[in-house]
Structure 1
Amino acid sequence: MFTGIVQGTAEVLAIEEKPNFRTHIIKMPEALLPGLELGASVSHNGCCLTVTEVNGDRVSFDLVKETLRITNLGDLKEGDTVNVERAAKFSDEIGGHLMSGHIMTTAEISKIITSENNREIWFKVQDADQMKYILHKGFVGIDGISLTVGEVTKTRFCVHLIPETLARTTLGAKRLGHRVNIEIDPHTQAIVETVERVLAQREASLLLAAAAAEEAAE
């Protein structure tokens, strides 16, 4: 589990391509190295990856076909940077919201509005079905960053970013057309799906009752 509070950014030092598989090596920030071992979980742009090798500050991770397909990690090139966060401990402060590191879809940056000490970024979600889970003032994970949702339309949503977020994460360098990873808040997802299921059951019951009444009237 992760908190969505990005602990630093890491440069991609090398990428090893294999059939439907990729290994990438990042330069882990020094502050995140203590206690880092094989098998540890580290969030890359919100996607949970497992440490496969530690060589000083050069840390390796394997990415399977599904990860490359669903996330923006397949777009990475040597020299790019990613947001990183070590897995949360029980004693850690939850400054954002609990995140699993499981990316549901990606979104394209469709509009950027910059004003003094603020930046508003609009995103168009690739999988439109996921928009039902993105609610005004709800939580969303964007490239591993826990953010509060601003305005929402049928196809897009926006967030408002303070200078600290822009300086500490990769969002400050994002431009129009760039893709970001989206993780839906699991609590919101559970509530929406429960309501949908209850309404569907109620509608089915009403249809059955109407059919029964019509049959009795004949």
Structure 2
Amino acid sequence: MFTGLVQQVGRLERISFQGEAGRLALAARFDAPLQIGESVAVNGACLTLVEQRGETLVFDVLRETFEKTALRDKAPGAPLNLERALRLGDPLGGHLVSGHVDGTGKLRRIETAGRDKVLVVAAPALIAEIVPKGSIAIDGISLTVVDVAQADGTFSAHVIPHTWSQTALAALAPGARVNLETDLIGKYVLQQAANAAKTPPAVTWDKLRDAGFLA
């Protein structure tokens, strides 16, 4: 589990595959040493550390993860947002992020609002799970949704100057794909509502009548 607060920005070194299994190597320096087997969110995708050589960190990555996320668009040298997994007792400064990317969106444009940046992202496949003032992780960064345009499948999120300068967001340009993870609690609520809609009611007028409660 993660919080969506980026701790370091690494640089992609390489991604290689043998069949469905692959390795992603990046360069990064954390304040505290990492442990083999540790989970790290890489642009929002939870990956497992399998090797460490100096500042080079190597992670296992499935081809499915690679194909279904925006990691496949990254070239060597690209900046990547990194966050170590949340530990018991750590402060929850952002929101609960699982590291399981729901899908990708396309950055439509970057606007300016005072000192903030405003990201306008098209994500029609996920728009039903995105609500104004709710939380969303964009490339692993916890942000608050400002507006949602259901008709054209877009939403906007503000980025404060500190977040803009301390993450890989500044390297994005319109047209770039970004990893999206919608609000964890919101997804559970939507799923429960969908299941409830499919389940026949336990009590109906016919059942009451058959039981003799109605004439």
> How far apart are 1:158 and its partner, in Å?
0.6
1:28 aligned residue: 28
1:136 aligned residue: 132
- Structure 1 residues 150 and 87: CA distance shift in structure 2, 3 A: same
CA distance in 2, matches of 1:76, 1:186: 26
- Structure 1 residues 157 and 203: CA distance shift in structure 2, 3 A: farther
1:12 aligned residue: 12
- Structure 1 residues 79 and 204: CA distance shift in structure 2, 3 A: farther
Local SS of the residue matching 2:149: coil
> How far apart are 1:204 and its partner, in Å?
11
Per-residue Cα deviation, 1:117-138 (whole angstroms, up to 9, x for no partner): 0111111116x1x211100111
Q: Which amino acid aligns with 1:38?
A: I
- Structure 1 residues 156 and 35: CA distance shift in structure 2, 3 A: same
Q: Which amino acid aligns with 2:192?
A: T
Map 1:119-130 → 2, pairs under 5 A: 119-125=117-123, 128=125, 130=126
Local SS of the residue matching 1:149: strand
Of the structure 1 ranges 41-50 and 74-83, higher mean CA displacement relative to structure 2 is found in 74-83
> CA RMSD of the aligned region, Å?
2.1
Select which of 60, 68, 71 maps to 1:70: 68
Q: How many residues align?
A: 205
> How far apart are 1:202 and its partner, in Å?
6.0
Q: Contact 2:137–2:143 (CA<8 Å) still a contact in 1?
A: yes
> How far apart are 1:159 and its partner, in Å?
0.1
Question: TM-score under structure 1 normalisation?
Answer: 0.87
Q: Contact 2:103–2:180 (CA<8 Å) still a contact in 1?
A: yes
Per-residue Cα deviation, 1:169-215 (whole angstroms, up to 9, x for no partner): 11122110001101111110111222233234368988x96xxxxxx
Work out the percentage of aligned pairs sharing the same amino acid.
34
> How far apart are 1:56 and its partner, in Å?
1.3
Structure 2: gaps spanning 5 or more residues: 207-215
Question: TM-score under structure 2 normalisation?
Answer: 0.88
CA distance in 2, matches of 1:151, 1:205: 40
Q: Contact 1:165–1:172 (CA<8 Å) still a contact in 2?
A: no
CA distance in 1, matches of 2:8, 2:33: 16
> How far apart are 1:80 and its partner, in Å?
0.7
Local SS of the residue matching 1:152: strand
CA distance in 2, matches of 1:203, 1:141: 36
Map 1:37-186 → 2, pairs under 5 A: 37-125=35-123, 128=125, 130-154=126-150, 155-186=153-184
Per-residue Cα deviation, 1:72-115 (whole angstroms, up to 9, x for no partner): 11222111110000111111110001111000100000122124
CA distance in 2, matches of 1:30, 1:198: 45
- Structure 1 residues 112 and 18: CA distance shift in structure 2, 3 A: same
Of the structure 1 ranges 19-28 and 77-86, higher mean CA displacement relative to structure 2 is found in 19-28
